[in-house]
């Protein structure tokens, strides 16, 4: 089997699903992943396999449960017998105003955004090394400029940025490790009112949201960019150069 294989965590919907579809269109075989969104993941699985027979598989797991990650990694490699790209996309995201932060929130946000990417990378090291593969971490522009009322999330993404750069050094030259930092791409699942949306748009030099395809395009570039490692690509319409982010 000569097709490259990409495993994308949190790929049942939103950016993860678009990325899976985009890479599939570029010839990758895809290992999809979900936790709760099984119906959406199974629908995407059927769609991809209808476009190219036996080109997609699905694994179901809670990536925050560290004791299950070794078994998950085995399932991923067994799906096609190889792995070329790991996209650590699964992420919890919600506000944690200081004064009300709980241990559960801490474990959830760090578990999905830092712990899972690190230990999945470690468990998949052998296969990625054999393929001269790539790890691509979904970080956030708010790793550098913290988002108001999102202290724990911003801390977790900052840790993921550091992990990305550290692994790029440690895993070279066999594995490249990079990150993509989306700006405002999709509105959060927690509703924003019209005023908050307008405030966000005013902070973006491009004056519009990006699209999930913009993120998928950047991820595909990093899949193929043989001489790029240790970098974070901001895909944000220029928002990361604006002086403040309030929403």
Residue that is written with structure tokens 């990625």 in the block: 128
**Of the listed 22, 94, 153, 227, which one is catalytic?**
153
**Active-site annotation holds for 22:** no
Q: Where are the alpha helices (DSSP H) in 26-137?
A: 38-51, 69-80, 103-110, 116-123, 125-130
Residue 180 neighbours by CB under 8 Å, 6+ apart? 136, 137, 138, 139, 215, 218, 219, 222, 232, 233, 235
CA distance 22 to 198: 30
The candidate with the shortest Cα–Cα distance to 64, out of 144, 24, 120, is 120
Active site residues: 153
């Amino acid at each position: 089997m000569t097709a490259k294989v990409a495993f994308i965590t949190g790929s049942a919907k939103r950016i993860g699903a678009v990325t899976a579809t985009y890479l599939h269109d570029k010839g990758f075989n895809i290992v999809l992943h979900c936790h709760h969104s099984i119906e959406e993941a199974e629908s995407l699985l059927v769609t991809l396999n209808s476009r190219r027979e036996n080109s997609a598989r699905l694994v179901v797991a809670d990536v925050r449960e560290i004791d299950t990650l070794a078994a998950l990694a085995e399932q991923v490699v067994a799906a096609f017998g190889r792995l070329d790209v790991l996209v650590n996309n699964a992420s919890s995201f919600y506000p944690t105003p200081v004064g009300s932060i709980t241990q559960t929130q801490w474990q959830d946000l760090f578990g999905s955004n830092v712990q899972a990417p690190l230990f999945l990378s470690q468990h998949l090291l052998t296969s990625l090394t054999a393929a001269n593969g790539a790890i691509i971490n979904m970080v956030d522009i708010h790793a550098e400029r913290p988002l108001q009322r999102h202290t724990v999330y911003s801390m977790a993404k900052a840790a993921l940025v550091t992990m990305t750069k550290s692994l790029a050094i440690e895993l070279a030259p066999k594995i490249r490790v990079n990150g993509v930092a989306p700006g405002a791409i999709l509105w959060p699942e927690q509703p924003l009112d019209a005023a908050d949306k307008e405030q966000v748009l005013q902070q973006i030099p491009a004056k519009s949201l990006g699209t999930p395809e913009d993120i998928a395009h950047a991820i595909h570039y990093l899949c193929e960019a043989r001489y790029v490692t240790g970098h974070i690509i901001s895909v944000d319409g220029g928002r990361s150069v604006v002086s403040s982010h309030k929403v």
